[in-house]
């Protein structure tokens, strides 16, 4: 083999190795994206910090003071604590929300809701989520934190995540614009119910559950309008353009589940 041929072969080997590394990195990234956000709140270090922080949140809120106290009380190395929660108390507030989501999902798996109507299943899921809260003051402080402009996007992401968890747990299979509309509407229902619940002092939060039922009734009225539009030839003609455009919208791709047998491999 000539020097030129050897150099070419080495370059090709390097390129193949880099391509393989990039492919593996892409696969690892996709697997990481598929990991449920609720599992991050159960990591031992984060869980220890969060448990320690909850003792201070009612007094100091989700602040740096709470984070420092949590680090001291948990006994974690400050460097490790900062690595686990780079944004300090903000990351702990996120973990607290995700812990509630995980508890809601666990209860949804244990409860038999098969005999209920879909609207009643959604109502039950929202109720389970609120009943997973051990300290209402921690939620009140979190609502204040995520109302700040610099944290508003994070708060919206968490609420959207809760709505997505609920619909996914209830078996939603929509892959068109309904995927987005269901989660958008439920996000509004959930967030408004949380705000009402924070100020509710009725026995067993009975007024909150009545409020939740009224909000779901409002959603069902919107669904009835959508059905009426689809059944009306005139309205379908008037809204032909928007209907066509919305028909092109698709739900985001989700990573393949790894708890099912079989699969497909890309040809090499």
pLDDT tens across 235-268, in order?
667 666 776 676 767 788 776 555 555 545 444 4
Q: φ and ψ at 7, to 5 degrees?
A: -65, -45
Mean pLDDT value across the chain = 82
Q: 């996709």: which residue's tokens?
A: 30
37: exposed, middle or buried (Cβ count in 10 Å: 0-12, 13-18, 19+): middle
Instruction: Locate 242 and state its tokens.
Output: 């928007």
Q: What is the CA radius of gyration of the chain?
A: 24
CA distance 268 to 259: 25
User: What token pair was written down for 10?
Assistant: 């080495």
pLDDT at 6: 46
Query: In 144-175, which positions are buried (b, 16+ CB within 10 angstroms) versus exposed (e)?
Result: ebbeeeebeebbeebbbbbbbbbbebeebeee
Residues in the chain where the model's pLDDT stays below 50: 1-35, 263, 265-268
| Domain 37-247: CATH class, spelled out | mainly alpha
Quick check: 57 and 66 in contact, CB under 8 A?
Answer: yes
Report the percent of the chain where pLDDT is more than 70.
74
Whole-model pTM: value is 0.77
Domain ranges (residues) in the chain: 37-247
């Amino acid at each position: 083999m000539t020097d030129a041929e050897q150099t070419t072969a080495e370059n090709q080997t390097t390129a193949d190795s880099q391509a393989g590394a990039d492919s593996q990195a892409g696969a690892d990234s996709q697997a990481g994206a598929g990991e449920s956000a609720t599992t991050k709140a159960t990591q031992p270090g984060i869980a220890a910090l969060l448990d320690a922080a909850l003792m201070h949140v009612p007094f100091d809120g989700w602040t740096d003071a709470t984070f420092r106290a949590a680090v001291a009380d948990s006994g974690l190395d400050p460097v490790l604590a900062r690595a686990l929660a780079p944004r300090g108390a903000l990351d702990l507030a996120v973990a607290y929300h995700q812990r509630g989501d995980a508890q809601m999902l666990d209860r949804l798996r244990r409860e038999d809701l098969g005999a209920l109507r879909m609207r009643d299943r959604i109502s039950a899921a929202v109720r389970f989520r609120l009943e997973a809260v051990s300290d209402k003051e921690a939620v009140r402080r979190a609502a204040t934190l995520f109302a700040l402009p610099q944290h508003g996007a994070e708060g919206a992401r968490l609420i959207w995540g809760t709505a997505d968890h609920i619909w996914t747990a209830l078996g939603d299979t929509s892959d068109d614009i309904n995927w987005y509309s269901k989660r958008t509407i439920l996000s509004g229902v959930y967030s408004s119910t949380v705000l009402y619940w924070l100020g509710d002092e009725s026995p067993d939060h009975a007024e909150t559950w009545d409020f939740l039922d009224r909000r779901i009734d409002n959603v069902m009225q919107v669904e009835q309008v959508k059905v009426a539009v689809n059944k009306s030839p005139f309205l379908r003609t008037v809204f032909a353009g928007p209907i066509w455009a919305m028909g092109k919208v698709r739900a985001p791709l989700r990573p393949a589940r790894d708890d099912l047998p079989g699969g497909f491999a890309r040809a090499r």
